[in-house]
Every structure is written in structure tokens, then in C-alpha cells.
Amino acid sequence: MTRAEFLARFGSVFENRPDLAEAVWALGPDTGSAEALHAGFATVLHGLSGEALTDFLNGHPDLAGRLMERGEVTADSAREQGSAGLDALDAAARARFLALNEAYRARFGIPFIMAVRDRSAAEILSGFEARLGNAPEAERAEAVRQIERILLLRLRDRFAG
């Protein structure tokens, strides 16, 4: 696979950060399977400095947030949030998500990140509420674990397609 082919296929796996996919390419990743390639993406993710990681985390949209409402999220995010029904919430549920997004950002300084595929809106709300009680360091680590899960699912999609 050439660099151009790699970036065309995997450049959007990291949310709005094709430069990070470029860093994966520079590692000479194993592109034989989603799981093998995931290791390269995880290496780049875990190699981000504290500030760079915070910037990356802040590049993720709020779940059921205003960017989703305006259609300003990536195709992957729209598909993932839609699969959980977050694009079809009633007014009360949308208001609850917006309030939790604000509380989470106020407490942790980053958006709430969860791999939402195959989850219901109720499961996501429950996770939101439970994670608000985490210590900041624990929550940051959980956000990274969730991104790793999102990456693997997105890579599997690209290999399946």
C-alpha cells in the first residue's frame, strides 16, 4: 500500500486528525488486518504528550451535541452516534445530554468520549453519569481506552469495506 492509498483509506480514522494517521504511516505499520494496524494507531495515540493529547481529545465532538445537530461531525461520528439513536432524541433527552456534556467539560476540561456503537442512549447516559464521579486522571485514561475502542471499530469497518 502506498502512502497515498494508506491516507485515503485510514486518514480519517483519528477524529479530524489526518496528521496522526500520517504519523502511523511513518511507523511502517502492519496493514494486514485491523487488529495489526490498530497497534500502530495505539502507538501514535500513546505517544502524544500531555498537551497534544488534550488537544486531540478536545477535537472530539460532544455526544448528541450541537455539532451533531448541525451536521458538523465526521461521517464516522455521525454513523456511530446515529447507531445509538443520538440523532433522534426527544427534547428532554437532548437537554439531558447537553447538560451532561457541559458538566463533564467543566469537571475534566475535555469532552465525554465513549465508543457508542451497539449502545443505547440510556446506556450512554448511565455511563456519562457514572464517569462524572471519576478522578481526573482516571477519566483521562478512560477517554484514551474509549478512543482505542473507537479506532479498532473504525479500522474493522475499513477492512470490511
Annotated catalytic residues are 60
Using left for φ > 0, alpha for ψ between -120 and 50, and beta otherwise, residue 44 falls in alpha
Helix axis angle, 18-26 relative to 3-10, nearest 10°? Answer: 140
- The DSSP 8-state label assigned to residue 45 in this structure reads H
Round to whole Å and give the CA distance between 53 and 46.
8
As a dihedral over the C-alpha atoms of residue 109, residue 111, residue 114, residue 118, rounded to 10 degrees, the angle is 160
Contact 39, 30 (CB under 8 A): yes
Percentages of the chain per state (helix, strand, coil), in multiples of 5:
65, 0, 35
